[in-house]
Chains A and B, each alone.
Chain A
Amino acid sequence: EAGVAQSPRYKIIEKRQSVAFWCNPISGHATLYWYQQILGQGPKLLIQFQNNGVVDDSQLPKDRFSAERLKGVDSTLKIQPAKLEDSAVYLCASRASTGSGEQFFGPGTRLTVL
């Protein structure tokens, strides 16, 4: 079974530029999560999708961050414009509708904002 795929793995941009990250969850997983992990901290949930609907986006800075999962499969997270404090690893995870509630994580995208 293929795992959660993310791209790109690394991205370096200047502040005020825009950037987009892509995630393809495990096949059949209805729930998809985006996390932000700042260096030295635990991951923080940004947004949770159930199929193509948003379940929780309370921690998403909506003035600059947006996310979509139009067909209920893969998802894109965008930052526009980026700030220095957005430098972090962005993790995508997915979860099956049944089972123990375990989330499966992708390798992450490391963003550096200069």
Chain B
Amino acid sequence: AQSVTQLDSHVSVSEGTPVLLRCNYSSSYSPSLFWYVQHPNKGLQLLLKYTSAATLVKGINGFEAEFKKSETSFHLTKPSAHMSDAAEYFCVVSDPSGTYKYIFGTGTRLKVLA
């Protein structure tokens, strides 16, 4: 069975400081992993994805994530937060060998302080 744990339900950072959103996963297979962002009243937008290629994945808007198999982690980072980064972020695990079913984490709400 697969599962995802987002370790922080809320994260607050000051504008211009680094962002770290933590995600741990459990999977019986070699998983695909995704980070999505959801702005208020908007749909889910893909930030980045890991699909067994490079372990350091770069995404849109300056975000990146590193797949660490030994730690079963896929943490999302950004060097410098912008006010527009304030949103809900979801870590997702998917089984690429089966139905590609998504298992979502519970989400982390990022607040960016001026």
**Residues of A at under 8 Å CB distance from B?**
4, 31, 33, 40-45, 48, 55-56, 91, 93, 95, 100-108, 110
Which of B41, B100, B107 is within 8 Å of A95, CB to CB?
Answer: B100
Which of A4, A55, A95, A100 is within 8 Å of B51, CB to CB?
Answer: A100
Is B44's CB within 8 Å of the partner chain A?
yes
Q: Are B101 and A45 in contact (CB under 8 A)?
A: yes
Given contacts A42-B90, A43-B104, A56-B101, contact A101 B44 (CB under 8 A): no
A41 and B51 CA atoms in complex are apart in Å by 25
Most interface-central of B42, B104, B106 (chain A CB within 10 A): B104
Q: Are B43 and A101 in contact (CB under 8 A)?
A: no
Given contacts A45-B101, A106-B43, contact A100 B32 (CB under 8 A): yes
Question: How many A-B contacts at CB < 8 Å in the complex?
Answer: 50
A56 and B102 CA atoms in complex are apart in Å by 12
- Number of B interface residues in the complex (CB < 8 A): 22
A93 and B100 CA atoms in complex are apart in Å by 12
A64 and B49 CA atoms in complex are apart in Å by 35
**Residues of B at under 8 Å CB distance from A?**
32, 34, 36, 41-46, 49, 51, 90, 94, 96, 99-102, 104-107
B53 → chain A closest CB, angstroms: 9
Q: Are A101 and B42 in contact (CB under 8 A)?
A: no
Q: Are A105 and B51 in contact (CB under 8 A)?
A: no
User: Closest A-chain residue to B109, C-beta based?
Assistant: A40
Q: Are A102 and B90 in contact (CB under 8 A)?
A: no
Given contacts A42-B90, A42-B107, contact A102 B43 (CB under 8 A): no
A114 → chain B closest CB, angstroms: 20
A105 and B43 CA atoms in complex are apart in Å by 6
A59 and B106 CA atoms in complex are apart in Å by 17
User: Closest B-chain residue to A4, C-beta based?
Assistant: B43
Q: Are B51 and A101 in contact (CB under 8 A)?
A: yes
